[in-house]
Chains A and B, each alone.
Chain A
Amino acid sequence: MTDTTNKGTGGGGEEAAVVPQVTFQIDGIETSVPKGTLVIRAAEEIGIAIPRFCDHPLLEPVGACRQCLVEVSAPDRSGAVRPMPKPQPSCTLVATDGMQVSTQRTSPVAEKAQRGMLELLLINHPLDCPVCDKGGECPLQNQSMANGAATSRYLDVKRTFPKPIAVSTQILLDRERCVLCQRCTRFSDEIAGNPFIDLQKRGARQQIGRFDEDVLDFERPGTSSGDQPVGAAHTDVSGAPFASYYSGNTVQICPVGALTSAAYRFRSRPFDLVSTPAVAEHDSCGSAIRVDHRRDTVMRRLAGDDPVVNEEWITDKDRFAFTWQTAPDRLTTPLVRDRGEDGSRGELRPASWSEALEAAAEGLARARQAGGVGVLPGGRLTIEDSFAYAKFARVALGTNDVDHRARSHSAEEADFLAHAVAGRGIDVTFSDLEAAPSVLLVGLEAEEEGGVTFLRLRKGATKNDVRVFSIASHRSSGLDRMNGTLLAAAPGTEPEWLDQIAAGGTDPAELADVSEALRGAGSVVLVGERLAAVPGAYSAVLRLVERTGARLAWIPRRIGERAGVETGTLPNLLPGGRPVVDPAARAEVAALWGGDELPADAGRSTGEILDALWVGQLGGVLAGGFEPEDLPDPAHARRALEQAGFVVALDVRSSEVTERADVVLPVAPPAEKDGSYWNWEGRVRTFGASLPSDAMPDHRVLDALADELDVELGTASLLDVREELGRLTPWAGERVAAPTVAPSEPEPVEPGTAVLASWRLQLDVARLQDGERFLAGTAKRPVARISPVTAVAVGVADGEQVTVSTDRGSLTLPVAVTAMVDHVVWVPLRSPGSQVHETLGVAPGAVVRVAAAAGEGEA
């Protein structure tokens, strides 16, 4: 398994196409660079720093700030080297053979041009470095200190603006600090594709901003002194909360302190911070981040620079959602609950580690006797923690009843994962997505469920004309921004599309389109975990890739899912993709673990474990990072936990599971431990603890617990775990067969009902976003989407309220009439006011009632 560690990009990005070289001189130093290289980049390569503000290697050149001017001579047609009449911006100048570039180091002209530019940038820049967030890490400040004049010749009045403007709840703008380099607007337009800010006004009054009447001096509706406006616009859409999931990147790339984040503003000085590289925990991309902390408190997180994964971008969730790790409900000591003689539950009370471990071990031993213990490790674990759970289940509890899938899941999915995902190493990569001729998304909304995946796909679509297709209920903003094509499908009908594409169907037109496109060499099918709720879908996906030759990647939401597949926290899989049912596979693992035979029966899935707890077939459960609300029927999960004979919970914070647990063992959050994540590519993403901490990671707690059970788990230290993982050879035997589940007949959709479509939005009410109100303010407003036909059938218009209900409950949301499949209603899965599992007790694909909300107008 060590073979899966990072070796480079793999795939298309890595192919070493022969790029012709050009040879030229910078400050008399001869250098050769690939044709097309910008002079400013070539200079970096040989250690010559040319100052710049607008230049950014991942953004298109713009040549706006003029700070990087250099003097240039180049050969004319006859070959004679002639000086160019004006200094040239090195950020837009492509190096050519025989060019001679003189930077500020050797050219008085370039030096004066740069000094002059700096002076011009500073005439209107405030001298507020002491209170500016950027002070200490500010390119403009650094430039001024290094090359600026001590005094200014500028005697007149500086341009000022009232400060600051809230571009969103999260992003603040101090316009007088802005040098108008347009990095932020270029990022928003080129990379994220949602230009929520743009340049406004012109000339010296030019500024960055959104449409804001007060800032831009537009007449406000209703205050007109002349002709009355035709009508007052809604206050909440036009120019008001415009959401972007990537806005924090603009703060990071701002070369001055113009853009700041509300969360970090005035909180710290860069030189007081200690920085640690880390990996973000919020989705399966495993984005590189930098954690900045002061006095053992995380102050902020920034994007790390990892060209093969997230380049230099991260989602706002990865950037801003970290306070959950230190929330007030953080568990600091073990807790034990005493039970009465009659089995009644008392209160949880703090206990020592030894008492808690002993109590846990005793309880688990009893439970094992009383039918067995199920293991529910959640989906957010590191590889090392995940491995410890997988081993603990088999070795300490003697069971395959282990499943990390805290979500809709199926046996078909488990077989799919065992057949097509486990043990494949790095297969499809982010770079491959940028180079693929076409990409088909099924059960995956890339922007919502895999933020950086979306950025890379969008880059492919906009730069390399990658064609993106999506089987979904409607065309999302994300699909739009990838110039994508929608294959409109009601939930549950995905297998139909997949089979028709596999068969090379040609009607309708978009089917012909995708059928042909997907057969282009290097095309990719990206599958999301939501397909588990659609019987037959994973089976159809496998048929599709076989027929088309397309490559396949599975992109779950959570960072720990792939590690679970690889380390065997699934009822049908042992570590290394070994099928539980295969005796040879069991024997290999047993040999590795140097112990007894491993349990041979296929285990129970998450749902089956909960069922078994409820009816008393299982005696207890060991759960970590697991929440009932993640399951399609949270009430059932709660009941099952309450019925369970014995519950041990490993968790960072108090949760619904710890509330129902007999023993609670606190574990370390990501910032306080070393570990590795396995991203969806199959890439191992290793990180160290950002903060010193006494909190123990799961693998160490499990080792101690095993110890109490007289089992030597051997997972006490990270090195031990890694060493053992390293000894695990890839499985060479037979894989689990591809599932061949037939699609189920769709339920009839009676009048007044619709099929429920739903997925989670990137920013919602999840626990890992707790405590970040500025971030929460940028979440999308929950709406119910229905087609115009459905709207007429239901009798509601755009903007009115609609109620979606089941026998369990109902939720009421504003309607957004959307071009989409008829007789389908889409609502966000777990957003404020739209908690589908909790309220309706069903999963997407279910038939729900839809009606105009009673008491319209009150909401």
Chain B
Amino acid sequence: MTSPLTPVLSDTWDADQSWTLETYRAHGGYGALAKALDLEPAGIIQTVKDSGLRGRGGAGFPTGMKWGFLPPDDGGPRYLVVNADESEPGTCKDIPLMMAAPHSLIEGVAITSYAIGCTHAFIYVRGEVVHVYRRLLNAVQEAYDAGLLGKNALGEGVDLDVTVHAGAGAYICGEETALLDSLEGRRGQPRLKPPFPAVAGLYARPTVVNNVESIASVPAIVERGADWFTSMGTEKSAGFGLFSLSGHVVRPGQYEAPLGITLRELLDMAGGVRPGHELKFWTPGGSSTPLFTAEHLDVPLDYESVGAAGSMLGTRALQIFDDSVCVVRAVARWTEFYAHESCGKCTPCREGTFWLEQVLARIENGTGVPEDLDVLLDVCENILGRAFCALGDGATSPITSSVQLFREEYEAHITGGGCPFDRAAAELFERKRPAVAGSEVEG
């Protein structure tokens, strides 16, 4: 039986000056790279395939298989692009990882680059986290200075360059093809697929796009083997992952555990839901994953089980909302987010989120009409599976799942002419004075 928590990525986070090369090396860092450079690239890809590592950015696509989609070497460049644009509401694992241990990512980048034949890798980090960007730039420089990157870094005269690129504020750039367009200096709008990035990605060259946590997991897999990795987690959801608890929970934070752990177990570790309150709803993997309730406390948090229960494992962003929270308000706000972040390329997402946002705002402020719920659901139906990329689908998840779970609460807003909840009750602090006008429901 593995431990309830299995710190691997987070294992060095409490070290002094954890972000430096020196600290990282003192904990065995870059040992995996040295080992990898003695292996055949194909062998590394096979190891990652054997490990069953699945993309930690939300979609859960097998990482080794993604690498295997690259066409045979044609002599031209091929690229690794790390998706560090962590922006999904609730998701907060890659940012602390890069802040505390950027070298675990860079070592993963070096190994992956070697495995896939890449000599120029990119880390696309969202621009709204300047200190993380500093740490990454610094770590890359340290690695260059130590000969881990740059000239001959991959041995036998093969160089590796790493460029850390700051985005500029656009959730959609977490979508891998939008990220590539953004990295090429364009508006971050998703590209038509096919061709897939593996065939024609960055600069129309074969490209692997992986999440930070996926790449950072590679050194440990290379060093300790696929069997070690599969010794954790479940058969189809192998290994460990960062589970991020946030919201109305006593000790929110990062919990690195084998996949398949349940929210009940995690809540136990985190001290439970805020005292005096009950769990009302939660997201298993960020705002784009359909809501769960207390009924789902024992669903194993692996790809298959969460899927079977009607949601998605996503990024393991567990946002906990207790009974003080109005689900209509929560969903309306998420919908505003999707409308704000819709890139505008396709009709259903652009116009649909614009519409949904307004209907939800009306319901929340008490001017909804009975037909609104049906319209909401039907508009969601017209977006889901019709939009260009997954953003549109994600926008519908909180709405359809919450109407399914809390229809009466929506109806109460419509029939009652407003929100029956006290916002202050959900806040973590005592208000010193009554909230200013505008933050409360009028009338």
- Are A and B interaction partners? yes
**Chain A contact residues, CB within 8 Å of chain B:** 61-67, 69, 85-87, 92, 112-113, 116-117, 119-121, 123-124, 153-157, 159, 179-180, 199, 201-206
**Which residues of A sit under 8 angstroms from B378, Cβ to Cβ?**
116
Contacting pair A204 B342 (CB below 8 A): yes
Closest CB in chain A relative to B345 CB, distance in Å: 5
Return the chain A residue nearest B384 by Cβ: A86
User: Is B55 an interface residue when CB atoms closer than 8 A count as contact?
Assistant: no
B354 close to A159 (CB less than 8 A): yes
User: A203 CA to B354 CA in the complex, in Å?
Assistant: 9
Tell me, yes or no, whether B158 is within 8 Å of chain A by CB. no
Contact between chains at A202 and B344 (CB < 8 Å):
yes
Are B346 and A204 in touch, CB under 8 angstroms?
no
Known: A120-B382, A157-B358. A66 touches B388 (CB 8 A): yes
Flag if A86 contacts B386 (CB, 8 Å).
Answer: yes
Chain B residues with a Cβ under 8 A of chain A = 170, 187, 192, 339-348, 350-355, 358-359, 362, 369, 371, 375, 378-379, 381-382, 385-388
- A66:B347 contact, CB within 8 angstroms: yes
B348 touches A116 (CB 8 A): yes
Interface residues of A, dominant DSSP: loop
B339 touches A121 (CB 8 A): no
Whether B340 lies near A203 (C-beta < 8 A) is yes
B355/A203 in contact, CB under 8 A: no
Contact A87 B385 (CB under 8 A): yes
Residue of B nearest to A200 (CB): B187
Residues of B within 8 A of A116 (CB): 348, 378-379, 381-382, 386
B362 contacts A156, C-beta separation under 8 Å: yes
16 example contacts (A-B, Cβ-Cβ < 8 A) are as follows A64-B346, A66-B347, A66-B387, A85-B385, A86-B385, A87-B386, A116-B379, A117-B386, A119-B382, A120-B347, A121-B347, A159-B354, A199-B344, A202-B170, A202-B343, A206-B344
Indicate whether A117 sits within 8 Å of B354 (C-beta atoms), given known contacts A63-B192, A199-B187, A202-B343: no
Determine the distance from Cα of A388 to Cα of B382 in the docked complex, in whole angstroms: 66
Smallest CB separation, B378 vs chain A (Å): 8
The residue that B187 contacts in the complex, of A61, A180, A202, A205, with Cβ under 8 A, is A202
Contacts of A64 in B (CB 8 A): 345-347, 388
CB distance from B347 to the nearest CB of A (A): 5
Q: Which residues of B contact A69 (CB under 8 A)?
A: 386
Q: Report whether A123 and B355 are in contact in the complex, using a CB–CB cutoff of 8 Å.
A: yes
- Cα-based distance from A159 to B354 in the complex (angstroms): 9
User: Quick check: A113 and B382 within 8 Å, CB to CB?
Assistant: yes
Nearest opposing residue in chain A for B387, CB measure: A66
Which 5 interchain pairs have the tightest Cβ spacing?
A206-B344, A116-B382, A86-B385, A156-B358, A120-B351
Select which of A63, A92, A203 is within 8 A of B350 by beta carbon: A203
B37, chain A: closest CB distance, angstroms: 36
B354–A66 contact, CB under 8 A? Answer: no
Could you tell me the distance in whole angstroms from the C-beta of A781 to the nearest C-beta in chain B?
28
Alpha-carbon separation in the docked complex, A117 to B348 (Å) = 7
- The answer to whether B355 and A154 touch across the interface, beta carbons within 8 angstroms, is yes
Q: In the assembled complex, how far is the CB of residue A195 from the closest CB belonging to chain B, in whole angstroms? A: 11
CB distance from B145 to the nearest CB of A (A): 36
By a CB distance below 8 angstroms, the chain A residues around B381 are 116
Q: Are A204 and B350 in contact (CB under 8 A)?
A: yes
Q: Would you call B192 and A124 a contact (CB within 8 A)?
A: no
Cα A62 to Cα B346 with chains together (Å): 10
Given A66-B387, A203-B340, A206-B350: A153 in contact with B192 (beta carbons within 8 A): no
Using Cβ atoms and an 8 Å threshold, which residues of chain B touch A155? 359, 362, 369
Interchain CA distance A149-B381 in the complex, whole Å: 17
Of the candidates A159, A199, A203, the one whose C-beta lies within 8 Å of that of B342 is A203
- Cα A149 to Cα B346 in complex, Å, equals 21
Residue of A nearest to B368 (CB): A155
Give min CB distance, A120 to chain B, whole Å.
4
Residue pair B350, A153 in contact (C-beta under 8 Å): no
Inter-chain contact B362/A179, CB cutoff 8 Å: no
Known contacts A64-B388, A203-B342, A204-B339; A156 and B348 CB within 8 A of each other: no
Of all chain B residues, the one with the shortest Cβ separation from A65 is B347
Q: How far is the CB of B162 from chain A (nearest CB, A)?
A: 29
Interface centre among B339, B343, B354, B359 (most CB of A within 10 A): B354
Known: A116-B382, A117-B382, A153-B371. 16 other contacts (CB 8 A): A65-B346, A65-B347, A87-B385, A87-B386, A116-B348, A116-B378, A116-B381, A117-B347, A120-B352, A155-B359, A179-B347, A180-B347, A202-B187, A202-B342, A204-B344, A205-B344
